[in-house]
């Protein structure tokens, strides 16, 4: 392939290093007054320093009429990507450009940006590449980025707009003496008209010593100084010089001078004949002395005759045969050829066919020609009796732009089947009348499909633009166009009108067709209110509350059609806050007016709601009626509607029912040495936080070891008396009085109960017994668990303690387990021990169990000694059987000995061996749970030996097959 390119170098802005290739400022409308502001900066990766990249850029906003400063905006760096080539095979290592994106969201309020002449964004930075040949001192010259915009029209109505989205830059270059062209056309999302022209690059006021300003500087901005022979009309010398088509945006030049050139293009935006914006973009173009590139040659083959097409012939395409063959040739090496067809005597579709590309003059394809298929599958025009004239263009992949050869042919074609497209909506049917309320967003999702996949755009008209601009966003997915329509019925723009019915029309047409088919979908948008009237207040007429109680009162104001709604709450003859009332909002914003002594709910639509909370304090609030006024105002486009209501809160005096005290008994018999407890409970039906107290009649309870612990809720007071009498108290009676008292707003009430405690001086003797059925002598088998239980019982319930200890040894060291117990009436404690062989020499062992009764004046004891004799398990015979039949019938299939004697302290299982009658070993195992399947053993008698450490057991077994 042939190379050498022209490069669009678009530069970012940084320190005074030479790095700026170009860039522009763009804006995108989001919703309402919200916009996205972007700055594209193109940076020379080879000559620039990455340290010169700014993390953010401060963009200025100025009024176009008088260049008055409005505000500054900080744009944060979002990311960067490399700028690619149109054809990566034409890459030149001299040219490496990065695209840095800066972006933020802003608000452009029409009330602030209300000048019909508009405003502009600007940002300045130094410096450019020093190798530029068409201006003076480029290394000391900056660039001023510039974008004009309007927010209102001549009638001061909001003008929502997205700036043109320009064709993205590429890292291409131009070749000396060869035609170079580049598609600069932009796309306007709003459907506005675009006009392109060359502009003089703006250098602004930054320079080497001051590469960036501390604050934005207003325009007008100084322009670059051209070198001799260059001007706005001749920014790149050539025959012809650089030009841009005003309607298509196509750049063309046949350069006559080498070097790097800077140039600028201005894209102006018009709506209804009025200019509403302007984008200023600067580029750099490198002109190189490229290798020669010979044009290709093409020959069209008539599909009916199979020979080369001759001028004046007519090629006829049927509905089945839609392709022609093209012989494409090129003398240059390493070339890739392609072919396309373009209409001559018709405008739509402009390009009617395109082929795949193929290589020629390469090691894989050494021939200088190839055959390409050109198929006319697209919708071709119907010119009646007149045939189509089509240019078949053969194109190479030369650098910087391809060379072509054109064969003009005359063509007729039978029409292909073509079904019409179809439009639909997700939430409405064609012809529906859709109600829309004022100050509410209206959204409608539509879609368009075509069996042949020939639709990619939906047109929309809405005969209501005087009441606010609509937005229509589209996306193409799997041959279906999805569209989202959005409009806001701004009440202010209706200027008191009651609304109306407006047609909304969607149209889809097939693209790439001479006579495209279409489908239409129409709706009627009815703007207005379902009803207009005062807002309804939802709240009780009267609420009753007792002194000291709390009350929560929900309230709401409702307005039809979700219009803006204000709600006011204030006391009648009272101050809400001073009375301790609290207002909480469930919707919107809540504000308290200290001067007007009222609450205001605002920022709500259709409903404002909240809660009034109050707890009238006994001392601060008197019984009576407290009046609260509620008023609401609904803001309809046709006027204000108001309504009100009054809430009466009646505070009732508190009535108080006395609490009740509950004791489980009024008489308690206790013995010294024990701990005794009595439960006390007070219940108040009015939930007035009852409390408990205790009083000794003729004595201080605390001095007699009597303690009352309490816990409280709003209705229950719970207590527990704990008493541990000493021996000195034996024979004494104590009289206690318990009281429960409530705490209402007014006078309190109480209840009481008496308890007599008799400390007894009589006593029965406690007894110690065990679960052992025989005499306290027990044989313990080594390796086995031994368990029995000790019991302590006392009829008079003095304090008991049950303990154990080894006589001459430690229970813990011997592994014996016993947990001492303490309490009254009845004690039980298990004794556990697993003896092992190591304890045989110490046997027998004696354990003393001791029951202590805390009697007065001295404690009494009962004891039991248990003798534990450790013994070993005896050797014994075992049961066996002498026949098994491994024949697969599932019965008696294997030989094993499940009843082998267990191991003991001196003897243990070693293994088993099985022999045939000639003494040959046929099976052996060291496992006690062995299994012999008799595998490989013929029927007959076999002999086994079971070995233990101290003896052997012998036997025989017969195998039956």
Secondary structure string (H, E, C) spanning 639-676: EEEEEEEEEEEEEECCCCCCCEEEECCCEEEECCCCCE
The C-alpha atoms of residue 709 and residue 707 are separated, in whole angstroms, by 6
Give 775's pLDDT tier (boundaries 50, 70, 90). Answer: low
Q: Are 595 and 646 in contact (CB under 8 A)?
A: no
Give 514's pLDDT tier (boundaries 50, 70, 90). Answer: low
Q: Enumerate residues 6+ apart whose C-beta is below 8 A from 761.
A: 730, 731, 856
pLDDT average, residue stretch 556-569: 88
pLDDT average, residue stretch 265-278: 93
Q: Enumerate residues 6+ apart whose C-beta is below 8 A from 302.
A: 308, 309, 313, 315, 324
Q: Enumerate residues 6+ apart whose C-beta is below 8 A from 383.
A: 345, 346, 514
Question: Is pLDDT above 50 for 372?
Answer: yes
- The topology (CATH level 3) of 425-526 is Immunoglobulin-like (2.60.40)
* Token duo for residue 548: 């000291």
The C-alpha atoms of residue 424 and residue 444 are separated, in whole angstroms, by 11
pLDDT average, residue stretch 710-718: 93
pLDDT average, residue stretch 410-433: 89
Q: Please determine whether the domains at 297-413 and 660-759 fall in the same fold group of CATH.
A: yes
* Token duo for residue 138: 């480029």
Q: Are 828 and 787 in contact (CB under 8 A)?
A: no
Using the structure block, give the residue that is written with the tokens 């008396």. 721
pLDDT average, residue stretch 742-749: 83
Give 3's pLDDT tier (boundaries 50, 70, 90). Answer: very low
pLDDT average, residue stretch 799-828: 90
Phi, psi values for residue 466, rounded to 5°: -65, -15
- The topology (CATH level 3) of 536-652 is Immunoglobulin-like (2.60.40)
In the three-class reduction of DSSP (H, G, I as helix; E, B as strand; rest coil), residue 435 is classed as strand
Question: Is pLDDT above 50 for 2?
Answer: no
Enter the CATH code of domain 660-759: 2.60.40.10
Q: What is the share, in percent, of the chain residues with pLDDT greater than 70?
A: 95
CATH of 297-413, one of 3.60.15.10, 2.60.40.10, 2.40.50.100, 3.30.360.10: 2.60.40.10
Give the model's pLDDT for residue 8: 34
Out of 1-10, 536-545, 683-692, 842-851, which region has the weakest mean confidence (pLDDT)?
Answer: 1-10
Give the model's pLDDT for residue 349: 61
Phi, psi values for residue 385, rounded to 5°: -75, -15
More confident call, 377 vs 641: 641
Question: Is pLDDT above 70 for 875?
Answer: no
Give the model's pLDDT for residue 746: 73
DSSP 888: S
The C-alpha atoms of residue 886 and residue 733 are separated, in whole angstroms, by 88
The C-alpha atoms of residue 71 and residue 84 are separated, in whole angstroms, by 35
The C-alpha atoms of residue 458 and residue 276 are separated, in whole angstroms, by 24
* Token duo for residue 761: 């001086």
Reported as a single tens digit per residue, the pLDDT across 449-506 is: 988 788 888 999 887 766 777 889 999 888 899 999 998 887 777 766 777 888 999 9
The C-alpha atoms of residue 426 and residue 482 are separated, in whole angstroms, by 10
Give the model's pLDDT for residue 75: 94
The C-alpha atoms of residue 81 and residue 223 are separated, in whole angstroms, by 29
Q: Enumerate residues 6+ apart whose C-beta is below 8 A from 698.
A: 735
pLDDT average, residue stretch 816-830: 90
Superfamily of the domain at 767-871? Immunoglobulins (2.60.40.10)
Task: Tell whether pTM > 0.85.
Answer: no
The residue extents of the domains of the chain are 20-288, 297-413, 425-526, 536-652, 660-759, 767-871, 883-959
The C-alpha atoms of residue 373 and residue 322 are separated, in whole angstroms, by 10
Arch. (CATH architecture) of 883-959:
Sandwich (2.60)
* Token duo for residue 351: 């390009």
* Token duo for residue 754: 């008496």
Instruction: For the chain, give the mean pLDDT.
Output: 87
The C-alpha atoms of residue 620 and residue 123 are separated, in whole angstroms, by 66
Question: Which candidate, 946, 949, 932, places its Cα nearest to that of 895?
Answer: 932
More confident call, 315 vs 904: 315
Give the model's pLDDT for residue 378: 65
Phi, psi values for residue 40, rounded to 5°: -100, 125
């Amino acid at each position: 392939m042939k190379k050498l390119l022209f490069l669009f170098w678009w530069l970012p802005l940084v320190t005074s290093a030479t790095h700026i290739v170009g860039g522009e400022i763009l804006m995108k409308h989001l919703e309402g007054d919200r916009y996205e502001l972007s700055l594209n900066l193109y940076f020379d990766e080879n000559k620039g320093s990455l340290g010169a990249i700014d993390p953010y850029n401060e963009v200025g906003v100025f009024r176009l009429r008088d260049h008055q400063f409005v505000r500054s905006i900080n744009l944060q760096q979002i990311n960067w990507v490399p700028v690619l080539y149109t054809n990566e095979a034409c890459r030149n290592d001299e040219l490496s450009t990065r695209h840095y994106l800066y972006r933020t969201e802003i608000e452009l309020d029409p009330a602030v940006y209300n000048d019909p002449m508009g405003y502009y964004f600007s940002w300045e930075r130094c410096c450019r590449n020093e190798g530029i040949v068409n201006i003076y001192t480029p290394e000391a010259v900056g660039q001023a980025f510039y974008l004009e915009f309007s927010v209102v029209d001549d009638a001061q109505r909001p003008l929502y707009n997205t700036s043109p989205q320009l064709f993205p830059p590429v890292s291409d270059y131009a070749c000396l003496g060869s035609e170079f062209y580049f598609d600069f056309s932009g796309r306007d999302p709003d459907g506005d008209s675009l006009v392109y022209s060359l502009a003089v690059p703006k250098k602004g006021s930054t320079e080497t010593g001051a590469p960036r300003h501390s604050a934005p500087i207003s325009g007008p901005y100084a322009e670059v100084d051209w070198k001799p022979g260059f001007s706005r009309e001749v920014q790149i010398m050539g025959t012809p010089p650089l030009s841009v088509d005003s309607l298509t945006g196509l750049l063309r030049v046949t350069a006559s001078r080498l070097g790097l050139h800077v140039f600028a293009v201005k894209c102006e935006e018009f709506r209804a004949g009025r200019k509403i914006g302007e984008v200023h973009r600067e580029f750099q173009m490198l002109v190189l002395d490229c290798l020669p590139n010979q044009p290709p040659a093409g020959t069209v083959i008539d599909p009916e005759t199979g020979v080369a097409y001759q001028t004046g012939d007519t090629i006829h395409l049927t509905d089945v045969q839609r392709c022609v063959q093209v012989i494409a040739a090129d003398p240059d090496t390493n070339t890739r050829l392609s072919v396309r067809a373009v209409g001559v005597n018709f405008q739509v579709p402009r390009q009617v066919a395109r082929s795949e590309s193929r290589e020629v003059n390469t090691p894989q394809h050494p021939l200088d020609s190839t055959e390409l298929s050109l198929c006319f599958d697209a919708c071709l025009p119907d010119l009646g009796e007149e045939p189509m004239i089509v240019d078949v263009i053969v194109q190479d992949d030369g650098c910087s732009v391809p060379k072509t050869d054109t064969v003009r042919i005359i063509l007729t074609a039978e029409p292909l089947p073509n079904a019409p497209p179809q439009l639909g909506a997700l939430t409405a049917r064609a012809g529906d009348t859709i109600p829309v309320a004022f100050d509410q967003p209206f959204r409608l999702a539509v879609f368009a499909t075509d069996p042949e996949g020939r639709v990619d755009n939906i047109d929309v008209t809405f005969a209501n633009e005087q009441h606010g601009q609509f937005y229509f966003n589209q996306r193409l997915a799997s041959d279906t166009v999805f569209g989202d329509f959005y409009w806001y019925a701004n009440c202010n723009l209706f200027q008191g009108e009651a609304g109306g019915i407006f047609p909304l029309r969607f149209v889809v047409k097939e693209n790439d067709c001479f006579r495209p088919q279409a489908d239409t979908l129409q709706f009627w948008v009815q703007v207005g209110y379902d009803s207009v009237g005062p807002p309804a207040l939802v709240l009780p007429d009267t609420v009753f509350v007792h002194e000291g109680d709390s009350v929560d009162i929900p309230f709401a104001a409702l307005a039809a059609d979700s219009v803006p709604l204000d709600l006011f709450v204030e006391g009648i003859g009272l101050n809400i806050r001073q009375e301790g009332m609290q207002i909480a909002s469930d919707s919107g914003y809540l504000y308290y007016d200290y001067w007007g002594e009222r609450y205001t709910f605002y920022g709500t639509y259709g409903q404002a709601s909240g809660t009034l909370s109050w707890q009238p304090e006994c001392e601060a609030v008197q019984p009576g009626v407290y009046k609260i006024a509620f008023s609401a105002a609904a803001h309809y486009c046709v006027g204000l509607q108001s309504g009100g209501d009054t809430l009466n809160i009646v505070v009732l005096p508190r009535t108080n029912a006395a609490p009740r005290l509950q004791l489980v008994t009024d008489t308690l018999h206790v013995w010294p040495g024990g701990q005794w407890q009595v439960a006390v409970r007070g219940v108040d039906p009015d939930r007035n936080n009852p409390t408990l107290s205790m009083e000794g009649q003729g004595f201080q309870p605390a001095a007699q070891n009597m303690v009352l612990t309490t816990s409280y809720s709003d209705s229950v007071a719970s207590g527990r008396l704990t008493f541990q009498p000493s021996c000195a108290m034996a024979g004494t009676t104590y009289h206690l009085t318990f009281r429960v008292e409530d705490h209402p707003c007014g006078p309190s009430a109480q209840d009481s109960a008496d308890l007599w405690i008799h400390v007894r001086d009589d006593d029965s003797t406690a007894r110690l017994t065990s679960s052992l059925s025989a005499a306290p002598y027990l044989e313990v088998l080594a390796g086995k668990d031994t368990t029995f239980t000790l019991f302590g019982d006392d009829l008079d319930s003095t304090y008991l303690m049950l303990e154990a200890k080894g006589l001459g040894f430690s229970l813990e060291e011997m592994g014996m387990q016993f947990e001492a117990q303490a309490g009254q009436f009845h004690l039980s404690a298990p004794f556990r021990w697993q003896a092992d062989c190591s304890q045989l020499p110490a046997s027998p062992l004696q354990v003393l169990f001791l029951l202590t009764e805390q009697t007065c004046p001295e404690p009494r004891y009962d004891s039991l000694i248990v003798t534990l004799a450790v013994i070993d398990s005896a050797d014994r015979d075992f049961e066996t059987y002498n026949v098994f039949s491994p024949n697969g019938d599932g019965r008696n299939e294997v030989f094993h000995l499940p009843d082998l004697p267990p191991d003991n302290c001196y003897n243990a299982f070693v293994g088993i061996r099985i022999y045939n009658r000639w003494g040959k070993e046929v099976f052996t195992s060291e496992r006690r749970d062995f299994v012999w399947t008799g595998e490989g053993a013929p029927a007959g008698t076999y002999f086994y030996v079971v070995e233990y450490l101290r003896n052997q057991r012998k036997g025989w077994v017969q195998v039956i097959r």
